[in-house]
Structure 1
Amino acid sequence: MLKSQDSLQSLDIKQARVKFILFKSKLRSILYGSSTDDSLFSARENSLGQWLYSSALTKYGHLPEIREIEKINLSITGKAKDLVNLYNGGKIDEARAGLTHLDGSERELIRLLEEIESKV
Protein backbone atom coordinates (compact mmCIF):
# COMPACT_ATOMS: atom_id res chain seq x y z
CA MET A 1 0.00 0.00 0.00
CA LEU A 2 2.85 2.38 0.80
CA LYS A 3 4.34 1.90 -2.66
CA SER A 4 0.98 2.73 -4.23
CA GLN A 5 0.75 5.90 -2.14
CA ASP A 6 4.29 6.88 -3.15
CA SER A 7 3.36 6.38 -6.80
CA LEU A 8 0.31 8.61 -6.42
CA GLN A 9 2.37 11.36 -4.79
CA SER A 10 4.99 11.09 -7.51
CA LEU A 11 2.26 11.31 -10.15
CA ASP A 12 0.84 14.38 -8.42
CA ILE A 13 4.24 16.10 -8.51
CA LYS A 14 4.71 15.19 -12.17
CA GLN A 15 1.29 16.67 -12.86
CA ALA A 16 2.59 20.05 -11.69
CA ARG A 17 5.35 19.91 -14.31
CA VAL A 18 2.77 19.17 -16.99
CA LYS A 19 0.63 22.06 -15.75
CA PHE A 20 3.55 24.45 -16.15
CA ILE A 21 4.22 23.19 -19.68
CA LEU A 22 0.53 23.72 -20.45
CA PHE A 23 0.79 27.27 -19.09
CA LYS A 24 3.77 28.02 -21.35
CA SER A 25 2.06 26.43 -24.32
CA LYS A 26 -1.07 28.55 -23.87
CA LEU A 27 1.04 31.70 -23.56
CA ARG A 28 3.05 30.81 -26.64
CA SER A 29 -0.17 30.20 -28.59
CA ILE A 30 -1.48 33.63 -27.65
CA LEU A 31 1.78 35.27 -28.72
CA TYR A 32 1.49 33.51 -32.07
CA GLY A 33 -2.05 34.65 -32.76
CA SER A 34 -4.49 32.42 -30.88
CA SER A 35 -7.29 33.99 -28.91
CA THR A 36 -6.57 35.01 -25.35
CA ASP A 37 -7.38 32.57 -22.55
CA ASP A 38 -8.18 34.80 -19.58
CA SER A 39 -7.48 32.00 -17.09
CA LEU A 40 -3.81 32.39 -18.00
CA PHE A 41 -3.78 35.74 -16.21
CA SER A 42 -5.21 34.43 -12.95
CA ALA A 43 -2.82 32.87 -10.45
CA ARG A 44 -5.69 30.72 -9.17
CA GLU A 45 -7.19 29.74 -12.51
CA ASN A 46 -4.14 29.13 -14.70
CA SER A 47 -3.13 25.50 -15.10
CA LEU A 48 -0.38 25.57 -12.45
CA GLY A 49 -2.59 27.56 -10.08
CA GLN A 50 -5.38 25.01 -10.39
CA TRP A 51 -3.02 22.28 -9.22
CA LEU A 52 -1.57 24.49 -6.51
CA TYR A 53 -4.84 25.73 -5.02
CA SER A 54 -7.00 22.64 -5.57
CA SER A 55 -4.69 20.07 -4.00
CA ALA A 56 -1.04 20.95 -3.52
CA LEU A 57 -1.41 23.49 -0.71
CA THR A 58 -3.54 21.01 1.22
CA LYS A 59 -1.14 18.11 0.68
CA TYR A 60 2.20 19.90 0.82
CA GLY A 61 1.46 23.24 2.47
CA HIS A 62 3.67 22.35 5.43
CA LEU A 63 6.71 22.38 3.12
CA PRO A 64 8.45 25.71 2.44
CA GLU A 65 8.98 24.71 -1.21
CA ILE A 66 5.27 24.90 -1.91
CA ARG A 67 5.26 28.57 -0.86
CA GLU A 68 8.14 29.18 -3.26
CA ILE A 69 6.11 27.52 -6.02
CA GLU A 70 3.24 29.83 -5.13
CA LYS A 71 5.60 32.81 -5.63
CA ILE A 72 6.72 31.42 -8.99
CA ASN A 73 3.11 31.05 -10.05
CA LEU A 74 2.40 34.68 -9.15
CA SER A 75 5.53 35.77 -11.01
CA ILE A 76 4.77 33.86 -14.21
CA THR A 77 1.19 35.09 -14.17
CA GLY A 78 2.46 38.68 -14.07
CA LYS A 79 5.04 37.94 -16.76
CA ALA A 80 2.33 36.45 -18.99
CA LYS A 81 0.27 39.63 -18.62
CA ASP A 82 3.30 41.76 -19.49
CA LEU A 83 4.13 39.70 -22.59
CA VAL A 84 0.57 39.73 -23.88
CA ASN A 85 0.40 43.50 -23.30
CA LEU A 86 3.58 43.88 -25.37
CA TYR A 87 2.08 41.67 -28.07
CA ASN A 88 -1.20 43.61 -28.09
CA GLY A 89 0.79 46.85 -28.22
CA GLY A 90 2.44 45.76 -31.46
CA LYS A 91 5.76 44.70 -29.92
CA ILE A 92 5.34 41.17 -31.19
CA ASP A 93 9.01 40.20 -31.49
CA GLU A 94 9.78 41.58 -28.04
CA ALA A 95 6.84 39.67 -26.55
CA ARG A 96 7.89 36.40 -28.17
CA ALA A 97 11.50 36.88 -27.11
CA GLY A 98 10.25 37.33 -23.55
CA LEU A 99 9.17 33.69 -23.47
CA THR A 100 12.76 32.77 -22.69
CA HIS A 101 12.41 34.54 -19.33
CA LEU A 102 10.13 31.70 -18.26
CA ASP A 103 12.99 29.20 -18.60
CA GLY A 104 14.52 30.25 -15.29
CA SER A 105 11.15 29.92 -13.58
CA GLU A 106 10.77 26.48 -15.08
CA ARG A 107 14.17 25.33 -13.80
CA GLU A 108 13.40 26.65 -10.32
CA LEU A 109 9.95 25.02 -10.37
CA ILE A 110 11.45 21.66 -11.31
CA ARG A 111 14.06 21.96 -8.56
CA LEU A 112 11.38 22.75 -5.98
CA LEU A 113 9.16 19.91 -7.17
CA GLU A 114 12.07 17.50 -6.88
CA GLU A 115 12.68 18.75 -3.33
CA ILE A 116 9.03 18.16 -2.46
CA GLU A 117 9.09 14.72 -4.04
CA SER A 118 12.13 13.75 -1.98
CA LYS A 119 10.38 14.82 1.24
CA VAL A 120 7.00 13.15 0.78
Structure 2
Amino acid sequence: MNQAQIDFQQLRIKHILFKSKVRSVLYGGTYDANFFSNHGPVNVWFNSVGLSKYRDLPEMQSLLQVHQELNSTTNLLISRYQSGKIEQAHEGLSKIDELSEKFLDLLAKLEGK
Protein backbone atom coordinates (compact mmCIF):
# COMPACT_ATOMS: atom_id res chain seq x y z
CA MET A 1 0.00 0.00 0.00
CA ASN A 2 1.48 3.37 -0.97
CA GLN A 3 1.21 6.57 1.09
CA ALA A 4 -1.70 7.97 -0.95
CA GLN A 5 -3.70 4.78 -0.40
CA ILE A 6 -3.00 4.99 3.33
CA ASP A 7 -4.01 8.67 3.39
CA PHE A 8 -7.29 7.97 1.62
CA GLN A 9 -8.01 4.90 3.74
CA GLN A 10 -7.58 7.06 6.86
CA LEU A 11 -10.04 9.58 5.44
CA ARG A 12 -12.54 6.82 4.63
CA ILE A 13 -12.38 5.56 8.23
CA LYS A 14 -12.75 9.09 9.64
CA HIS A 15 -15.70 9.73 7.34
CA ILE A 16 -17.46 6.52 8.40
CA LEU A 17 -16.89 7.47 12.04
CA PHE A 18 -18.33 10.94 11.32
CA LYS A 19 -21.46 9.45 9.74
CA SER A 20 -21.83 7.01 12.63
CA LYS A 21 -21.52 9.83 15.21
CA VAL A 22 -24.20 11.86 13.40
CA ARG A 23 -26.59 8.92 13.52
CA SER A 24 -25.71 8.27 17.17
CA VAL A 25 -26.41 11.87 18.23
CA LEU A 26 -29.73 11.91 16.38
CA TYR A 27 -30.78 8.76 18.22
CA GLY A 28 -29.96 10.06 21.68
CA GLY A 29 -26.19 9.64 21.93
CA THR A 30 -23.92 12.21 23.50
CA TYR A 31 -23.17 15.27 21.40
CA ASP A 32 -19.44 16.00 21.18
CA ALA A 33 -19.08 19.63 20.07
CA ASN A 34 -15.34 19.26 19.46
CA PHE A 35 -15.88 16.27 17.16
CA PHE A 36 -18.28 18.29 14.99
CA SER A 37 -16.11 21.42 15.01
CA ASN A 38 -13.18 22.44 12.81
CA HIS A 39 -11.07 20.32 15.19
CA GLY A 40 -12.91 17.12 14.31
CA PRO A 41 -11.01 14.25 12.67
CA VAL A 42 -12.22 14.77 9.09
CA ASN A 43 -11.57 18.51 9.14
CA VAL A 44 -8.13 17.92 10.64
CA TRP A 45 -7.37 15.40 7.88
CA PHE A 46 -8.31 17.93 5.19
CA ASN A 47 -6.20 20.64 6.81
CA SER A 48 -3.16 18.53 7.61
CA VAL A 49 -3.08 15.96 4.78
CA GLY A 50 -5.66 16.49 2.07
CA LEU A 51 -5.09 20.11 1.17
CA SER A 52 -1.34 19.98 1.72
CA LYS A 53 -0.67 16.89 -0.42
CA TYR A 54 -3.58 16.69 -2.86
CA ARG A 55 -4.73 20.29 -3.27
CA ASP A 56 -4.12 20.32 -7.04
CA LEU A 57 -6.46 17.42 -7.74
CA PRO A 58 -9.91 18.69 -8.78
CA GLU A 59 -11.55 15.80 -6.95
CA MET A 60 -9.99 16.99 -3.69
CA GLN A 61 -11.77 20.32 -3.99
CA SER A 62 -15.03 18.50 -4.77
CA LEU A 63 -14.48 16.17 -1.83
CA LEU A 64 -13.94 19.12 0.48
CA GLN A 65 -17.13 20.77 -0.79
CA VAL A 66 -19.15 17.61 -0.16
CA HIS A 67 -17.70 17.36 3.35
CA GLN A 68 -18.60 21.00 4.03
CA GLU A 69 -22.13 20.24 2.87
CA LEU A 70 -22.15 17.22 5.20
CA ASN A 71 -21.06 19.51 8.05
CA SER A 72 -23.78 22.07 7.41
CA THR A 73 -26.46 19.39 7.01
CA THR A 74 -25.27 17.72 10.20
CA ASN A 75 -25.42 21.01 12.12
CA LEU A 76 -28.95 21.60 10.85
CA LEU A 77 -30.12 18.12 11.83
CA ILE A 78 -28.53 18.30 15.27
CA SER A 79 -30.13 21.69 15.79
CA ARG A 80 -33.51 20.24 14.84
CA TYR A 81 -32.98 17.31 17.19
CA GLN A 82 -31.95 19.55 20.08
CA SER A 83 -34.99 21.76 19.57
CA GLY A 84 -37.32 18.77 19.83
CA LYS A 85 -37.93 18.23 16.11
CA ILE A 86 -36.70 14.67 16.38
CA GLU A 87 -38.73 13.21 13.53
CA GLN A 88 -37.54 15.94 11.13
CA ALA A 89 -33.96 15.28 12.22
CA HIS A 90 -34.37 11.55 11.54
CA GLU A 91 -35.87 12.27 8.13
CA GLY A 92 -32.80 14.33 7.29
CA LEU A 93 -30.56 11.29 7.68
CA SER A 94 -31.40 10.36 4.09
CA LYS A 95 -29.57 13.54 2.99
CA ILE A 96 -26.57 12.49 5.10
CA ASP A 97 -26.61 9.07 3.41
CA GLU A 98 -26.83 10.68 -0.03
CA LEU A 99 -23.92 13.02 0.66
CA SER A 100 -21.91 10.19 2.20
CA GLU A 101 -22.34 8.11 -0.94
CA LYS A 102 -21.18 11.06 -3.05
CA PHE A 103 -18.21 11.55 -0.71
CA LEU A 104 -17.16 7.90 -0.92
CA ASP A 105 -17.54 7.89 -4.74
CA LEU A 106 -15.26 10.91 -5.03
CA LEU A 107 -12.80 9.33 -2.65
CA ALA A 108 -12.73 6.16 -4.77
CA LYS A 109 -11.99 8.29 -7.85
CA LEU A 110 -9.13 9.97 -6.01
CA GLU A 111 -7.72 6.61 -5.01
CA GLY A 112 -7.87 5.49 -8.62
CA LYS A 113 -5.58 8.30 -9.74
2:41 pairs, out of 47, 59, 64, with 47
Aligned residue in 1 for 2:75: 81
Are 1:68 and 2:62 matched, yes or no? Answer: yes
Paired residues, what number?
113
Structure-1-length-normalised TM-score: 0.84
Are 1:114 and 2:108 matched, yes or no? Answer: yes
Q: Percent identity?
A: 35
The whole-number CA distance in structure 2 between the counterparts of 1:24 and 1:110 is 12
Structure with bigger helix share is 1
- Name the aligned partner's letter for residue 22 of structure 1: L
Are 1:28 and 2:23 matched, yes or no? Answer: yes
Contact persistence 2:19–2:100 (CA under 8 A): no
Unaligned segments of structure 2, at least 5 residues: none
Aligned residue in 1 for 2:32: 37
Deviations 1:67-90 (A, max 9, x none): 111111211111111101111111
Aligned residue in 2 for 1:102: 96
Structure-2-length-normalised TM-score: 0.89
2:10 pairs, out of 8, 15, 18, with 15
For structure 1, which segment, 59-68 or 97-106, has the greater mean C-alpha deviation from structure 2 after superposition? Answer: 97-106
Deviations 1:35-86 (A, max 9, x none): 21113442x3232212111111111001011111111121111111110111
Contact persistence 1:40–1:77 (CA under 8 A): no
SS at match of 1:38: coil
